[in-house]
């Protein structure tokens, strides 16, 4: 299953903590392949196992079963100091008794690099993260953003094959976080190093990643590009966690999903009769006059105005609540009034059939 | 307005001084007074039956290093004194190093327990303080003497046939002092290690540092304030130890403390005792200053 551009292969990895009654399965059989040069994000709510997976790759934890391969070599049981992998820690974990430059040089010294090479690399790293002027500072005299840059430079200095980033931006304020997102992308581009990035922030994941693995309860639910994950979620958790989504239940009859009288959607061939859950993004829902062809009838609840658009809350005939996102029109016309009865349509291509 | 504010503040300061005057007087009389008496006595002549005669003399200071020959009255280097000084410094240094070697893992162990267990382990460490030093030292005496527990046990199981001559040796004094001063090393080390950010260990391992490199390059520099405090707390009382060398070292393996005691007792040379005490004080203070200065030179972290 190894392909040429695979850097990391995670094969059936499980991780359990504790034993007996208090045994807790943090990862239950995870598979993933991360390609060279990729910006790969592990996305999920807290406790989903994303940090555990990162720590397994770094070597701070050993897998209970399964294999972690780097360039085809099993590394799952090596100690962290034998893996060509470096980490940017959530709270940076800079050495408080060393200067910025000493922090960056530490990994290179431990690898036994010659002095001249260390000095040159430290200089290059300082330039890369724009910290040249602060090389002699003690790390406790730095701001959060500066510490972040030092942590990045320290982890990149030994030129690892893989850089792991454990929610590195979570401690920064919003403005600084946006700035560092751009910086991280620039630095990844300049160094060409593969990044594995852990976050619980879906927006951060969507804007920065080449590919995202969405995790929940110790499982990877879906791996794909940000576009694939957003537009084609395969499962209810992914659809719900990434962006906003309306869920509709529909009966399956003869390979078609029946939503209401005269409202049917074709399904993939071979779908058995029964029920399915459909997901539709609020921005794909169109409001039409009641009784229009192929429209579901819905009663308007309230609407929230956001400037560029407004969110209209509707209730379908079967009592399901849905949200439609309406672009503000140039004339600034008042949106639908509460209590009005409207028709709701959506293009069939915007509907995702979810695995339950 | 400003004027009155200033005067009021000055009055307040004056009142504060006046209020603390009794305590200050007591401290001055109790702490500085005896030191002053000691300093004065060190420049006097010994009395025949102890005490001093009020005749100025530098003999006591000369007597620290030299003795006067009984027959021809020439000054000779006092080998016995030097042996005692050397033994004191050597044993105190060994005790400091050894309590660190034993105390560091102990403190690390306690600091890495779950928070609710730490108090329990610290409590165990402080238990020896509940018993009188004299009794604890006699207990060690009982264990290591020729007919004591250790020798009896070793002979019974056939490891040795003759009892090991442990009591009244430098080794016995060293063992005793290590036992007595170990908690003084463990407690400051614990305080420093408890504040240690254990994520730095992972950062170290992640950056290719072996376990030994993490210990040397990350742990020791970060907990240095604790190491300094522990070393001072062990070294200084060791240097002036009295009970331990007296009971475990016997009459021959004296340390400075016993030597000073001797001057005020059988030696009947109070000025020499006083000069030795002042010397000890000066040496300890100087060592302390140098150590603290040296330790703070590279980064005053913590």
What are the tens digits of pLDDT across the range A59-77?
A: 999 999 999 999 989 999 9
Question: What local confidence, expressed as pLDDT, does residue A356 receive?
Answer: 61
Instruction: Return the CATH number at A173.
Output: 3.40.50.300
Q: At what angle do helices A115-128 and A144-156 cross, to 10 degrees?
A: 140
Residue A1 predicted with pLDDT over 60: no
Task: Compare CB distances from B199 to A80, A81, A89 and report the shortest one's residue.
Answer: A89
Which of A211, A237, A263 is the endpoint of a domain?
A: A237
Domain residues for the domain of A342 are 244-354
What is the average per-residue pLDDT within B143-163? Answer: 88
Looking at the fold, whether A281 and A336 belong to one and the same domain comes out as: yes
CATH match for B78-297 among 1.10.3720.10, 3.10.20.30, 2.40.420.20, 1.20.1600.10: 1.10.3720.10
* Cβ proximity of A7 and A35 under 8 Å: yes
Looking at the fold, whether A156 and A276 belong to one and the same domain comes out as: no
Q: Does A136 touch chain B (CB under 8 A)?
A: no
Looking at the fold, whether A150 and A263 belong to one and the same domain comes out as: no
Kindly determine whether residue A87 and residue B299, on different chains, have CB atoms separated by under 8 Å.
no
**Over the stretch B119-148, which tens digit does the pLDDT of each residue have?**
999 999 988 888 899 999 999 999 998 888
Instruction: Return the CATH number at A341.
Output: 2.40.50.140
What is the average per-residue pLDDT within B35-54? Answer: 89
Residue A1 maps to a domain? no
Integer angstrom CA distances of residue A351 from A213, A243, A268 = 22, 15, 12
Looking at the fold, whether A125 and A192 belong to one and the same domain comes out as: yes
What is the average per-residue pLDDT within A228-249? Answer: 89
Looking at the fold, whether A54 and A133 belong to one and the same domain comes out as: yes
Looking at the fold, whether A223 and A297 belong to one and the same domain comes out as: no
ipTM associated with this complex: 0.82
Please report, rounded to a whole number, the percentage of residues in chain B having pLDDT higher than 90. 58
Question: What local confidence, expressed as pLDDT, does residue A301 receive?
Answer: 86
**If you measure CA to CA, which chain A residue comes closest to B212?**
A110
Q: Does A168 touch chain B (CB under 8 A)?
A: no
Chain B residues in contact with A113 (beta carbon < 8 A): none
**If you measure CA to CA, which chain A residue comes closest to B200?**
A93
Size of interface A-B (CB pairs under 8 A): 65
**Over the stretch B173-230, which tens digit does the pLDDT of each residue have?**
999 999 999 999 999 999 999 999 989 999 999 999 999 999 999 999 999 989 999 9
Kindly determine whether residue A96 and residue B202, on different chains, have CB atoms separated by under 8 Å.
no
**Over the stretch A200-225, which tens digit does the pLDDT of each residue have?**
999 899 999 999 999 999 999 999 99
Looking at the fold, whether A161 and A271 belong to one and the same domain comes out as: no
* Cβ proximity of A151 and A180 under 8 Å: no
Chain A residues in contact with B203 (beta carbon < 8 A): 87, 89, 93-95
Domain residue extents for chain B: 1-41, 78-297
Residue A271 predicted with pLDDT over 80: no
Task: Give chain A's domain count.
Answer: 2
**If you measure CA to CA, which chain B residue comes closest to A60?**
B202
Name the E strands within B200-272: none
Task: Compare CB distances from B222 to A59, A85, A97 and report the shortest one's residue.
Answer: A97
Residue A341 maps to a domain? yes
Residue A132 maps to a domain? yes
Which of A237, A259, A276 is the endpoint of a domain?
A: A237
**If you measure CA to CA, which chain A residue comes closest to B203?**
A93
Tokens of B31: 């702490």
Kindly determine whether residue A138 and residue B218, on different chains, have CB atoms separated by under 8 Å.
no
* A265 or A356, higher pLDDT: A265
Kindly determine whether residue A97 and residue B207, on different chains, have CB atoms separated by under 8 Å.
no
**Over the stretch B79-90, which tens digit does the pLDDT of each residue have?**
888 999 999 999
Question: What local confidence, expressed as pLDDT, does residue B301 receive?
Answer: 43
- Dihedral of CA atoms B142, B143, B146, B151 in degrees, nearest 10, equals 160
* Cβ proximity of A342 and A289 under 8 Å: yes
Looking at the fold, whether A13 and A32 belong to one and the same domain comes out as: yes
Q: Is A2 exposed, middle or buried (0-12, 13-18, 19+ CB in 10 A)?
A: exposed
Task: Compare CB distances from B199 to A91, A110, A155 and report the shortest one's residue.
Answer: A91
Q: Does B218 touch chain A (CB under 8 A)?
A: yes
Looking at the fold, whether A169 and A257 belong to one and the same domain comes out as: no
Which of A191, A211, A237 is the endpoint of a domain?
A: A237
Kindly determine whether residue B197 and residue A94, on different chains, have CB atoms separated by under 8 Å.
no
Question: What local confidence, expressed as pLDDT, does residue B300 receive?
Answer: 43
Looking at the fold, whether A209 and A279 belong to one and the same domain comes out as: no
Tokens of A295: 């429209």
**Over the stretch A147-191, which tens digit does the pLDDT of each residue have?**
999 999 999 999 999 999 999 888 888 888 888 899 899 999 999
Integer angstrom CA distances of residue B24 from B9, B10, B17, B31 = 21, 20, 9, 10
Looking at the fold, whether A148 and A292 belong to one and the same domain comes out as: no
Looking at the fold, whether A190 and A73 belong to one and the same domain comes out as: yes
Q: Does B206 touch chain A (CB under 8 A)?
A: yes
CA B195, CA A309: separation in Å to the nearest integer? 51
CA A73, CA A6: separation in Å to the nearest integer? 12
Could you tell me which of A130, A126, A205, A193 has the C-alpha nearest to residue A164? A193
Task: Compare CB distances from A80 to B199, B205, B222 and report the shortest one's residue.
Answer: B205
């Amino acid at each position: 299953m190894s392909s040429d551009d695979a850097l990391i292969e995670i094969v059936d990895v499980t991780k359990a903590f504790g034993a007996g009654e208090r045994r807790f399965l943090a990862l239950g059989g995870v598979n993933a392949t991360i390609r060279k040069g990729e910006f790969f994000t592990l996305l999920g709510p807290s406790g989903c196992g994303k940090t555990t997976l990162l720590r397994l790759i770094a070597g701070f934890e050993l897998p209970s079963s399964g294999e972690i391969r780097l360039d085809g070599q099993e590394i799952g049981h090596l100690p962290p100091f034998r893996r060509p992998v470096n980490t940017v820690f959530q709270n940076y974990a800079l050495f408080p008794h060393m200067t910025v430059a000493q922090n960056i040089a530490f990994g290179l010294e431990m690898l036994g690099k010659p002095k001249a090479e260390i000095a040159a690399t430290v200089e290059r790293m300082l330039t890369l993260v724009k910290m040249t002027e602060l090389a002699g500072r003690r790390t406790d005299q730095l701001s959060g953003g500066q510490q972040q840059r030092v942590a990045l430079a320290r982890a990149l200095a030994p030129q690892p094959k893989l850089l792991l980033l454990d929610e590195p931006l979570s401690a920064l304020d919003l403005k600084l976080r946006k700035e560092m997102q751009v910086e991280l992308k620039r630095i990844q581009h300049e160094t060409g190093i593969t990044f594995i990035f852990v976050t619980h922030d879906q927006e951060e994941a969507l804007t920065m990643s080449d590919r995202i693995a969405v995790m929940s309860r110790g499982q990877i639910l879906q791996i794909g590009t940000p576009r694939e994950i957003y537009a084609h979620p395969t499962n209810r958790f992914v659809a719900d966690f990434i962006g906003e989504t309306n869920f509709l239940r529909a009966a399956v009859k003869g390979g078609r999903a029946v939503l209401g009288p005269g409202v049917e959607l074709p399904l993939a061939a071979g779908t058995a009769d029964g029920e399915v859950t459909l997901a539709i993004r609020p921005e794909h829902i169109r409001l039409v006059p009641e009784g229009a062809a192929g429209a579901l009838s819905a009663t308007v609840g309230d609407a929230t105005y956001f400037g560029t658009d407004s969110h209209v809350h509707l209730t379908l005939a079967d009592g399901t609540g849905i949200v439609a996102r309406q672009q503000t029109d140039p004339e600034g016309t008042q949106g639908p009034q509460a209590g009005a009865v409207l028709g709701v349509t959506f293009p069939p291509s915007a509907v995702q059939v979810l695995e339950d | 307005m400003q004027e009155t504010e200033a005067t009021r503040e000055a009055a307040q300061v004056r009142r504060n001084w006046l209020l603390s005057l009794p305590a200050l007087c007591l401290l001055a009389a109790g702490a500085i007074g005896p030191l002053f008496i000691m300093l004065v006595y060190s420049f006097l002549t010994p009395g025949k039956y102890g005490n001093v005669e009020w005749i100025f003399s530098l003999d006591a200071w000369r007597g620290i290093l030299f003795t006067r020959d009984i027959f021809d009255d020439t000054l000779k280097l006092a080998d016995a004194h030097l042996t005692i000084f050397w033994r004191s410094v050597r044993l105190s240094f060994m005790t400091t190093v050894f309590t660190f070697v034993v105390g560091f893992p102990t403190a690390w162990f306690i600091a890495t327990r779950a928070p609710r267990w730490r108090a329990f382990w610290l409590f165990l460490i402080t238990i020896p303080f509940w018993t009188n030093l004299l009794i604890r030292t006699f207990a060690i005496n009982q264990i290591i003497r020729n007919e004591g527990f250790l020798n009896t046990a070793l002979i019974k199981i056939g490891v040795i046939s003759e009892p090991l001559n442990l009591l009244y040796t430098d080794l016995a004094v060293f063992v005793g002092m290590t036992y007595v001063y170990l908690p003084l090393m463990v407690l400051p080390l614990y305080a420093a290690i408890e504040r240690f950010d254990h994520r730095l260990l992972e950062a170290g391992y992640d950056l290719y540092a072996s376990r030994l490199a993490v210990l040397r390059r990350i742990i020791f520099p970060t907990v240095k304030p604790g190491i300094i405090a522990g070393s001072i707390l062990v070294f200084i009382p060791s240097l002036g130890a009295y009970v331990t060398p007296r009971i475990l070292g016997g009459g021959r393996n004296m340390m400075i403390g016993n030597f000073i005691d001797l001057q005020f007792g059988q030696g009947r040379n109070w000025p020499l005792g006083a000069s030795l005490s002042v010397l000890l004080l000066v040496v300890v203070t100087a060592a302390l200053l140098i150590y603290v200065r040296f330790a703070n030179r590279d980064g005053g972290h913590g």
